[in-house]
């Protein structure tokens, strides 16, 4: 089966994005767009088939498409983003995914951002964060339980999403910032701890057996390479000013 990557262009309004843990800095849209083009090329070079959703120029965070849906082999869950300004982003993602999966939607009072959902086989770690609440995670559990997925709630603090604090970098390996999420949440999975000098370094994008990884975190990159993990470096510094990581910019699923 082919790996599909849903992405959405950088919106002209990105300078007005939500910021929770970062101070606002000017964002150079041309540079952000060039970085996004490199990201898109990297995904293609790693074998993904790209599906580019229409730009939503009036929605400042719409490039961070990950937050709008969780796509499993059996079902797609349309989220209800925790930030009010982001709720309207889900309409067009639902249209795109309805062609490929049965759809369920998170409903009020639940909130859930895709950035809080980390899938590792049949185990799904669900961040309880400033964006995703217990009601949203409970609805996720109900939607996926019939297919044999288990939900592990993962309280996060100090960062935006669970995937700011932990992402998969191998079938059974998680890259982790233990300041933001407890290591014990991940049970028997192996963990690689980020270098303390690089607190934002835990967001990596695993594409088959390669990890797409920000060039900004060389110390943590060395830790992964010393464990035999193949990395492909990418500059995502302008998008990072909008408090978005590499996972945020796509939704990957088997087509």
Q: Which of 17, 48, 159, 248 is catalytic?
A: 248
119/165 Cα distance (integer angstroms): 14
* DSSP output for 164-201: HHEEEEETTEEEE-TTTB-GGGGTTSEEEEPPTT-TTT
Between residues 205 and 242, which has the closer beta carbon with respect to ligand GLY? 242
Question: Could you identify the residue written with the tokens 């978005």?
Answer: 244
Question: Which of 39, 64, 180, 217 forms a contact with ligand GLY (CB under 6 A)?
Answer: 64
Is 238 near ligand GLY (CB under 6 A)? no
User: Is 161 considered catalytic here?
Assistant: yes
Is 242 near ligand GLY (CB under 6 A)? yes
Could you say which residues in the range 121-160 bind ligand GLY, by CB under 6 A? Answer: 160
**Binders of ligand GLY: how many residues, by CB under 6 A?**
10
> Number of helices (H) and strands (E), helices first, in the chain?
6, 15
Q: How many CA atoms lie within 13 A of 241 on its CB side?
A: 16
Is 83 near ligand GLY (CB under 6 A)? yes
Is 116 near ligand GLY (CB under 6 A)? no
Q: Which of 36, 48, 161, 249 is catalytic?
A: 161
Strand partners, 232: 212
CB 18 to ligand GLY: min, Å: 3
Neighbours of 100 (CB within 10 A): 15
Select from 104-112, 171-179, 183-191, 241-249 the region that touches ligand GLY (CB under 6 A). 241-249
227/42 Cα distance (integer angstroms): 22
Which residues form the catalytic set? 161, 248
> Which residues contribute to the site for ligand GLY (CB under 6 A)?
17-18, 20, 61, 64, 83, 160, 242-244
């Amino acid at each position: 089966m082919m790996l599909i990557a849903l992405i959405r262009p950088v919106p002209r309004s990105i300078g007005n994005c939500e910021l929770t843990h970062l101070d606002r800095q000017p964002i150079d849209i041309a540079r952000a767009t060039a970085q996004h083009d490199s990201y898109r090329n990297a995904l293609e070079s790693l074998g993904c088939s790209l599906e580019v959703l229409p730009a939503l120029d009036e929605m400042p965070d719409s490039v961070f498409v990950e937050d709008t849906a969780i796509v499993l082999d059996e079902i797609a869950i349309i989220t209800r983003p925790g930030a009010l300004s982001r709720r309207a982003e889900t309409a067009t993602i639902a249209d795109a995914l309805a062609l490929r999966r049965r759809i369920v939607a998170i409903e009020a009072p639940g909130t859930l951002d895709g950035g809080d959902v980390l899938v590792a086989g049949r185990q799904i770690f669900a961040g309880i964060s400033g964006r995703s609440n217990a009601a949203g995670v409970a609805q996720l559990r109900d939607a996926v339980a019939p297919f044999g997925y288990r939900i592990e709630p993962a309280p996060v603090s100090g960062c935006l999403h669970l995937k700011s604090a932990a992402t998969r970098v191998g079938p059974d390996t998680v890259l982790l910032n233990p300041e933001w999420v407890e290591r014990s949440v991940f049970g028997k999975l192996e963990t690689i701890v980020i270098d303390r000098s690089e607190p934002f370094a835990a967001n990596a994008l695993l594409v088959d057996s390669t990890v797409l990884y920000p060039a900004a975190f060389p110390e943590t990159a060395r830790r992964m390479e010393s464990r035999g993990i193949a990395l492909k470096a990418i500059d995502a510094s302008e998008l990072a000013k909008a408090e978005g990581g590499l996972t945020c910019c796509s939704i990957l699923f088997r087509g």
